[in-house]
Structure 1
Amino acid sequence: MARYEFKEGSSNKFWEITLSGNTFTTRWGRIGTDGQEKTQTFASPAEAEKEHDKLVREKEKKGYVLAGKGEDDEGGEDEGAEAASNPELEAAILKDPDNVDAYLVYGDWLQSQGDPRGELIALQHAASQATGTEASDLKRKATALIKKHPSLLLGELADAVKSEELSVEWHLGFIRSARLGQKDYDSDRDIAEATRELLALPSARFIRSLTIGMASFDGENDYGDVISAIAEAGGSKTLTDLFIGDFEYPDDTEISWTHLTDVSAALKVLPNLRTLRLRGGELGLGDIDLPELREFTVETGGLPLGAIKSIASAKWPKLERLEVWFGSNDYGAEGGVEDIQPILDGKGLPNLKQLGLRNSEFTDALAQVLPTAKVLPQLEKLDISMGTLSDEGARALADKAAAFSHLKQFDLTENTLTEEGQSLLSKAIPHASVGNQREYEEDYRYAAVGE
């Protein structure tokens, strides 16, 4: 049974948890008492283990410390540990980042050099093969090892983890995913510099996923320096998932106060991206050539014409999901149906299955051309929500309802349909989602997200 204790001020509490198969038992209370006990049962051992690990993380975040921790647990920095590097063994991993054996070979070599990452690889691999209490114990030891060597594993970014402006997920001794972003208005963290440091970090050599939150709470939220940092760092051959703009609007900032700038320099050094998500305004994309990309999403209140043309002429033959928010003319949106004709024709999109042409002020014009769009027959999901679809557009869709009969999902929500238009579409295209409409005003219709 793992026992955690919290001693601070007048607080003197314990929390224990025991995992067994598809159940675990927790006991908690004031130290020196028997406390209270509760047993929970789950559908499977995997589900129980997942919830077990979640609860342990929550307790550790609140300040609970494993009781009776020894030298292998959450001790201080091991000054004798040094980072080692073997370019040949790293090249084997870079060639096939999913090859577990390549990590294990590198781990053996790192252990022979006294590098704690070797032990971390062994612990995390063993944990992935174990179940129940054994897996939990191995994960705890891996976490303790990471905490014991913050400088070696994270360099100057160890402080960013402490301030909760950098969160990382470790996999086989290396950072697999990371999120960087200012925490609040009191933060002075330079996110661009932190991005540069992260990509240069030996522990992030094989990073797969990167998310960038708020670059700045003070004034405009500008990602220009972050984009430059990615490009100057040389990007990453292993990065497959990139999300720039992970913030809540309007709570953190408005989309229109966020500047993505020209991201083309970063895309050129990320050749193996599979998912790309961008949120903000003032976007430039340049010539897009992403041969491995499967999903592309841009969420904006004002998409400039240059970006639309980049998307329409992009080279991404494996793309399966495309989602574009066009935005409001009042916030910089440009272009119309004629500018996305290559998309409607399915040009260069042989694998596209999901298409979102959302948040536009030309939704009625879209409704006129969608029934005969060459790309339509290959789609499984179509989304034209958050726009300005009126009853006139609804009639155009209803008149050609058969063209949409093959779709598994057709999203028309958050437009400006009246009850009459909703009823018309519900009868003509029963599988379409037509509810949750915004207020209709004939002389003033706008995209759902502009500012």
Structure 2
Amino acid sequence: MTEIEHPETFHGLPVLTLPGPAQSHTAPLPAADSVAWRLESAWQGDLTFAALWQHFVDTVDTAQVRALLIGPWWQEEYESFAPVVDLLVGHADRIPALKALFLADVVSEECELSWFEMSDITPVVEAFGQLEELAVRGCDEPIDGKEPFGLQPVRHKALKSLRFESGGLPSGIVRAIGASELPALVHLELWLGVAEYGGDVTVEDLAPVLSGAAFPALRHLGLQNSEIQDEIAAAVASAPVVAQLESLSLAMGTLGDEGAEALLSGQPLTHLTSLDLHHHYISDPLVDRLRDLLGADRVNGEIHEVEDWDPEEDGHRYVAVSE
């Protein structure tokens, strides 16, 4: 899972993985509001996530917890995330100060992104009306008996940052975001992924976001990791939302010369403080033109994993994160 790592900080706080009840931990735990707590039950013997959660609420003053990350929650097999959602929602009143939540902080050494499936996260958004930051990682590869990865349109007054990291983001989630009332939303980042892993988002699905009307406070927009990145760039080139942005990311996808030309011939981008295009397939002359337009310090055009890509030998383009 390229570009996916465990964050060292979350919501401005250092991340601390809570030791399980069977782990030796002689030092006292820090103040509950001084760290972002990470919970993981996998590979801890017979410890279930439910038991770890009970240990969390018994050991930590959860009324003071400000940030929480959910790591691997399964035991022997990759289990549905739905029971974790139920625990979070059922104990929402015990975490009244929670401002930031990361669902499925899992990296490839623990489980490939396409191997674990998220459930419907709407109840979490509705239960934590004070949340300011929500990050969600996962794909949608429906399996019998598992609730599909989903989101319904919601109204949330506090949410400022929303990020979905996926190798295949369902179009229903993008449509639900566009239909939601999120008046405080400043940062929106969507890793759209590929069709092979459930990513079926079209430019039409992005229309409410691109219109600028949905989120008047939006200042950063990331439409990333897509196999239709040229189409998205062409839509962004004339999208009203761009005028209100301070930064824009079209990184991690299959962006090529067609998309770059659309950006160069479209509406002005000179007001942006940052244009992130890393992991792209744009020819050097067009990268130079983009840098000349905005200034080299404001365009991240590094190629990363596709630096050795040769269109004559391998015409297929790859997104940065899929499986």
| Higher RCO (CA-CA < 8 Å; seq separation 6+) | 2
Alignment match, 1:407: 272
User: What amino acid is aligned across from residue 321 of structure 2 in structure 1?
Assistant: V
| 2: CA distance, partners of 1:387 / 1:327 | 8
1:293 matched to 2:159: yes
Q: CA deviation at 1:406?
A: 0.4
User: What amino acid is aligned across from residue 198 of structure 1 in structure 2?
Assistant: F
Q: CA deviation at 1:443?
A: 4.3
| 2: CA distance, partners of 1:259 / 1:408 | 36
| 2: CA distance, partners of 1:376 / 1:168 | 45
User: What amino acid is aligned across from residue 322 of structure 2 in structure 1?
Assistant: G
**For 1:435, which of 299, 302, 306 is the aligned residue?**
302
SS at structure 1 position matched to 2:168: coil
Question: Is the Cα contact below 8 Å between 2:120 and 2:150 reproduced in 1?
Answer: yes
**For 1:332, which of 191, 198, 205 is the aligned residue?**
198
1:253 matched to 2:108: no
In structure 2, relative to structure 1, the CA distance for the partners of 1:199 and 1:239 (3 Å cut) is farther
In structure 2, relative to structure 1, the CA distance for the partners of 1:234 and 1:427 (3 Å cut) is closer
1:366 matched to 2:232: yes
**For 1:216, which of 74, 81, 87 is the aligned residue?**
74
SS at structure 2 position matched to 1:262: coil
Q: CA deviation at 1:193?
A: 4.0
In structure 2, relative to structure 1, the CA distance for the partners of 1:202 and 1:385 (3 Å cut) is closer
Alignment of 1:14-413 (within 5 A): 159-160=20-21, 162=23, 169-171=30-32, 177-182=36-41, 185=43, 187-195=45-53, 198-199=56-57, 203-216=61-74, 218-220=76-78, 222-235=80-93, 236-248=95-107, 250-282=108-140, 283-400=149-266, 403-413=268-278
Query: 1:155-199: CA deviations, max 9, x gaps?
Result: xx98538357xx96415xx786422113x6354321244335635
Alignment match, 1:65: none
In structure 2, relative to structure 1, the CA distance for the partners of 1:450 and 1:202 (3 Å cut) is closer
| 2: CA distance, partners of 1:224 / 1:160 | 23
Question: Which deviates further from its counterpart, 332-341 or 368-377?
Answer: 368-377
Alignment match, 1:450: 322
| 2: CA distance, partners of 1:333 / 1:348 | 22
Q: What is the TM-score with the length of structure 2 in the denominator?
A: 0.80
Query: 1:289-339: CA deviations, max 9, x gaps?
Result: 221011111101011111111111122100111111000111110121110
Q: CA deviation at 1:403?
A: 1.2
Query: 1:345-399: CA deviations, max 9, x gaps?
Result: 1223111111111111121112212122111111111001001111111111122
| 1: CA distance, partners of 2:270 / 2:34 | 45
| 1: CA distance, partners of 2:43 / 2:35 | 28
| 2: CA distance, partners of 1:299 / 1:253 | 14
In structure 2, relative to structure 1, the CA distance for the partners of 1:375 and 1:216 (3 Å cut) is same
In structure 2, relative to structure 1, the CA distance for the partners of 1:240 and 1:427 (3 Å cut) is same
In structure 2, relative to structure 1, the CA distance for the partners of 1:444 and 1:379 (3 Å cut) is same
| 2: CA distance, partners of 1:416 / 1:313 | 32
In structure 2, relative to structure 1, the CA distance for the partners of 1:262 and 1:440 (3 Å cut) is farther
User: What amino acid is aligned across from residue 266 of structure 1 in structure 2?
Assistant: V
Q: Which has the higher strand share?
A: 1
| 1: CA distance, partners of 2:59 / 2:209 | 39
Identity %: 29
| 2: CA distance, partners of 1:260 / 1:354 | 25
Q: What is the TM-score with the length of structure 1 in the denominator?
A: 0.59
| 2: CA distance, partners of 1:383 / 1:285 | 23
**Over alpha carbons, which structure has the higher Rg?**
1
| 2: CA distance, partners of 1:196 / 1:293 | 27
Aligned residues, how many?
Answer: 289
Question: Is the Cα contact below 8 Å between 1:168 and 1:178 reproduced in 2?
Answer: no
Question: Is the Cα contact below 8 Å between 2:219 and 2:247 reproduced in 1?
Answer: yes
In structure 2, relative to structure 1, the CA distance for the partners of 1:218 and 1:176 (3 Å cut) is same
Q: CA deviation at 1:266?
A: 1.9
Question: Is the Cα contact below 8 Å between 2:224 and 2:253 reproduced in 1?
Answer: yes
SS at structure 1 position matched to 2:169: coil
In structure 2, relative to structure 1, the CA distance for the partners of 1:159 and 1:331 (3 Å cut) is closer
Q: CA RMSD in A?
A: 2.7
